[in-house]
Structure 1
Amino acid sequence: MITNKRFQLLLPILSPLIALAQPAVGIASALIVGAMLILLAGANPITAYTALFQESLTTYFGFGNTLTKMTPLLFTSLGVLVALRAGQFNIGGEGQIYLGALGSALIGLYVQGIPAVIHIPLALVAGFLFGAVWGWIPGYLKAVRGVNEVITTLLLNYIAVNLVSYLVQNPLKAPGAPSPYSPLIAKEAQLPVILPQSLAHAGIILALMAAALLWVLLVRSPLGYQIAAVGFNPTAAHYARISVKNTIILIMSLAGGLAGLAGASEVMGLKYRLFEQVSSGYGFDAVAIAFLSRGSIGGVVLTSLFFAALRSGANVMQRSAGVPVTVVYAIQGLTVLFIAISLAVERRIKTQSNAEV
Structure 2
Amino acid sequence: MKAAGLQFDKKEFLNKNMSAVALVLALVLGGIAMLVCGYNPFEAYGSILKGAFIGRKAICQTLVQATPLIFAGLAYTVAKKANLINLGIEGQLYMGALGTSLIALMPVNLPGVIWIPLSLLGGIIFGGLYAGLVGFMKVKFGSNEVIATVMLNTIAQNFVAYVVNYPLKEAGKSMAQTARFSESVWIPKLVDKTQLTAAIIIAVVLCVLIKLLFERTVVGYEIKCVGLNLKASETAGIKIGKIMIIAMVLSGSIAGLLGGTHVLGVDHRLIADFSSGYGFDGIAVAALAADSPLGVILSGIIFGALRAGCMVLNRTTGIPTEFIDVIQAFIILLVAAPLLVKEILRIKNGSKGGKK
Cα deviation 1:157-191 (Å, max 9, x = unaligned) = 00000001111111111123232111111211110
Contact 2:23 2:288 in 1 (8 A): no
Paired residue type of 1:319: R
The question of 1:262 aligning with 2:258 is answered yes
Match of 1:274 among 270, 279, 297: 270
Q: Distance in 2 between matches of 1:240 and 1:82?
A: 22
Alignment of 1:1-357 (within 5 A): 15-345=11-341
Contact 2:87 2:279 in 1 (8 A): yes
Please state how far the C-alpha of 1:14 moved relative to its aligned partner: 6.2
Cα deviation 1:253-296 (Å, max 9, x = unaligned) = 11000000110111011110111122100000111221222221
Paired residue type of 2:340: A
What SS class does the counterpart of residue 17 from structure 2 fall into?
helix
Structure 2: segments with no counterpart, 5+ residues: 1-7
Q: Distance in 2 between matches of 1:29 and 1:74?
A: 22
Counterpart position of 1:9: none
Contact 2:180 2:268 in 1 (8 A): yes
Contact 2:169 2:179 in 1 (8 A): yes
Q: Distance in 2 between matches of 1:35 and 1:290?
A: 23
Higher mean Cα deviation, 269-278 or 50-59?
50-59
Cα deviation 1:79-135 (Å, max 9, x = unaligned) = 111111111111100001101111111111115211111001001101100100111
Contact 1:293 1:299 in 2 (8 A): yes
Q: Distance in 1 between matches of 2:106 and 2:9?
A: 56
Contact 1:68 1:199 in 2 (8 A): yes
| Change in CA separation of 1:299 and 1:13 when aligned onto 2, cut-off 3 Å | closer
What SS class does the counterpart of residue 83 from structure 2 fall into?
coil
TM-score (norm 1): 0.91
- Number of aligned residue pairs: give it: 345
Q: Distance in 1 between matches of 2:199 and 2:58?
A: 17
Contact 2:51 2:310 in 1 (8 A): no
Paired residue type of 2:323: V
Contact 1:181 1:275 in 2 (8 A): yes
Please state how far the C-alpha of 1:322 moved relative to its aligned partner: 1.0
What SS class does the counterpart of residue 101 from structure 1 fall into?
helix
What SS class does the counterpart of residue 110 from structure 1 fall into?
coil
Q: Distance in 2 between matches of 1:306 and 1:335?
A: 12
Cα deviation 1:194-232 (Å, max 9, x = unaligned) = 112111000010011110110000111111111111112
Paired residue type of 1:209: V
Paired residue type of 2:58: G
Q: Distance in 2 between matches of 1:205 and 1:106?
A: 24
| Change in CA separation of 1:13 and 1:67 when aligned onto 2, cut-off 3 Å | closer
Cα deviation 1:16-70 (Å, max 9, x = unaligned) = 5432221111111111111122223332211111111221123222221221221
Q: Distance in 2 between matches of 1:145 and 1:340?
A: 29
Q: Distance in 2 between matches of 1:124 and 1:348?
A: 43
Paired residue type of 1:200: L
